[in-house]
Structure 1
């Protein structure tokens, strides 16, 4: 499909620079059915009444690490955003001013943290090796910053509030360089209300990479190379999700990261299976969903792979109408913004 079909105009003032407080006070747009039915405005706190007893919400329990580093190689300023772990001491990183690096160069970051530029990749990224005995995560906590999305970082600096704001209540497994932002809206009080309403929840892990922010440069979706991210679904989790569906419940992914991993783990028989490894699944209109029955997600960038994904779920015209409604009604967009609940059935 032509990428320009997924374009739309977004006023800059609609981009949220801070999250709603409290988190579950964010607005929620219900988009039900793929036809021309009404779009209804709610808040995230209304979620228990918008779902059914027996439904299961699936959250991503990845934890965002302070993966953005600013340092020096000689007189050259070098910026690095780690985006995919290779092994215990090596990460693949997008590097600003990377043309000033040569294989074997040492980059000096704050707090006595050093990385060696080991290998330059075809896409311009580098493998960085962090020598020493301390875990890389400890080094990053000392020297790194939270990697806010470019559309926020371009408007304001990262500060101490982002260390908690850009982390979900489910964050448990270090490895993401971007938050699974739909889950930022959840609070313990909301989870208690959902449980009281008979709505369950499960977790999986997908370590979101910085590639999620890369623009689609191709003119046709068939020519876009999707980035890979590592994820895991435990067998017991898969079993419980399959049992919930068999009992008539719906599997509702919270965030496109949860959705992409669930779909990667599910065969044509619609059975969710255990999964551990990389996924580079790219979902565009025409895709047949196997694992999920709905999606809660924030509002995405024009011409992004994520707007293509929601258009695949609900239909392009339906999502264009939903986004036009959200813009007209003052919804806040992107990582710190409001959310939509998409129920195609």
Structure 2
């Protein structure tokens, strides 16, 4: 583990330093052994206290921790027999998006995830997880391939946002994000999306439309970064903590708002302290979720996916819905239905 330390963890590191000294003394001093056991319990209690009461900005710091497991870590620890697929068949291969076949116990899946890199060289090559249009085009191509073979898709989200450079805009960054979201909304195969670190803006949403959307406990998912929000609203990045609170971006907030389906608990002290245990928990969640989703007929799966995202944004004022247009599409017989589209295409093919 690196020497990178979070400010709010200072009491934890001080107690851990004391424990190291006691462990050396305990080899020869019986009295030190008793104190060692007591301090270990104190450390656990302290970590529980701190990590159960994290402020929104502190959650952002944990989500950005350089030792936090990346997509490449989960590909090794959670999945088996990963075979990477490259290129978008149009422009090039974006290393900020990794795609490929993998096995998860008895399930064969397509894995698509953002990659930030683990050292300076890798981070520069991956643009710190900020994908270009060719990255999302690569992802869409692999999604279609998975649907062709009727295999589930697992998306691992970890990005501060899509790459904002001029070249990316010239190659259609905004359009390709919209196309990816539209494709995922009607793709006839189970899709599970998990925010493993940062879930920033359209770069995260581009691979975030799924039948189940989950977050790790100390990840965040937001329309914009706290710094960006502070720059727009307060004209000063120093208000990033206020912006983090206002954005309601933590897993606790989003599960209450109904924008995500599940929160995956992290090991005590965050995923960066025990990547192996975190990978095990992620594997268990994915295995159980895929077992549930693969048992659902595709037309029902698509309809539920559509209705799930259609309901987002509905709010009440004075006990009544503000607009009937914001109600679930089931209330409107003329509303678009992905399941009906599949049926219509099948009928046309039979004809």
Q: Given the two structures, how large is their TM-score scaled by the length of structure 2?
A: 0.26
In terms of Rg, which structure is larger?
A: 2
Judging by fraction of residues, say which structure has more strand: 1
